[in-house]
A and B are shown apart, each in its own frame.
Chain A
Amino acid sequence: MNGEMSVIVRTITRFVYGLIVVFGFYVIMHGHLTPGGGFQGGAVVATAFALLIVAFGAAGLKGKLNDHLLQSLEEVGALAFLVLGFIGIGTAFFYNIIANSGAVFGSPTPIGPNPGFLNTGGTLPWMNWAVGLKVMTGLASVVLVMLVGAREEEET
């Protein structure tokens, strides 16, 4: 027994997995324009990881998804968030120094209701990506470790 589910679940997982990941990245990327953000998009992508683990079993993903890589990526996300907070330390902690400066994501946004422009927001999109990376890898490693631990206990 290697923890795989039936062929129906595996086939539908192959179809849906990519769609869930793309939707999660969309939610992270448009976090400063539409409802959503790093936390929500990261949770959506972690759902895709959980679906993979449930459908294929932890043994089937042994070589493809190791928890050391996931934890390293989580620490990278946390450090990136901290560094982005320290960028504006000249004025204040978490000061948005990129906004309205003309750099990447730095063009000013029109006041009032508008269609939404992706190249605005200053440090907000960068922080969304950092927090999204942190949340998705953190939740995925929690799900992976909990399921693998429970399965090992059953077998022994």
Chain B
Amino acid sequence: MMIGNFPYIVAMLLVAIGIYALLFKRNLIKLVIGISLVETGVNLFLVTLGYRTAGIAPIYTYAPNAKPMVLPTPQALTLTSIVIGLATTALLLSFVVFIYRHYGTLNVREIKELRG
């Protein structure tokens, strides 16, 4: 049972590493990396939920006969989630660029002390 659930544990490990980066890092770029790690873990978890044993991708072009297909809905939602994550990361990084220009540092502590 432990080995059978290994993909879930890997996805949860990714989420845990992202939360660690969000809690204990002071650099804004590392915080953005943590957010991306949490996103990746959630995407991996969604795709993992839809897997069927010995399933093939839900595409009928040259599909092998009489094989089960994995669930397509989690894959569609993950596609949505990936694009939203990309756009959000671009927006976050441009905010980081502006913060660096304004304060001259990326450290969250120093930004809080500067205040202006």
B61 touching A116, Cβ below 8 Å: yes
Residues of B within 8 A of A1 (CB): none
- Residue A115 interfacial (CB < 8 Å): yes
Residues of A within 8 A of B97 (CB): 146, 149-150
Interface centre among B65, B79, B86, B93 (most CB of A within 10 A): B86
- Residue A63 interfacial (CB < 8 Å): no
Nearest opposing residue in chain B for A30, CB measure: B61
A113 touching B62, Cβ below 8 Å: yes
Nearest opposing residue in chain B for A149, CB measure: B97
A37 to B62, CA, bound (A): 18
A139 to B83, CA, bound (A): 11
- Residue B64 interfacial (CB < 8 Å): yes
Q: B60 is contacted by which of A39, A112, A149 (Cβ under 8 Å)?
A: A112
A145 to B24, CA, bound (A): 32
Contacting A at CB under 8 A, from B29-88, are 57, 59-65, 79, 82-83, 86
A35 touching B59, Cβ below 8 Å: yes
B63 touching A113, Cβ below 8 Å: yes
- Residue A11 interfacial (CB < 8 Å): no
A139 to B82, CA, bound (A): 14
- Residue A124 interfacial (CB < 8 Å): no
- Residue A33 interfacial (CB < 8 Å): yes
A87 to B45, CA, bound (A): 35
Residues of A within 8 A of B83 (CB): 39, 135
A142 touching B90, Cβ below 8 Å: yes
Task: Give 9 A-B pairs besides A112-B60, A114-B61, A146-B97 with Cβ atoms closer than 8 angstroms.
Answer: A37-B79, A39-B83, A113-B62, A115-B61, A116-B62, A135-B83, A146-B94, A150-B97, A153-B101
Give the interface of B toward A (CB within 8 A): 57, 59-65, 79, 82-83, 86, 90, 93-94, 97, 101
A-B contact pairs, 24 of them (CB 8 A): A33-B59, A33-B61, A35-B59, A39-B82, A43-B86, A112-B60, A113-B60, A113-B61, A113-B62, A113-B63, A113-B64, A113-B65, A115-B61, A115-B62, A116-B60, A116-B61, A135-B83, A139-B86, A142-B90, A146-B90, A146-B93, A146-B94, A149-B97, A153-B101
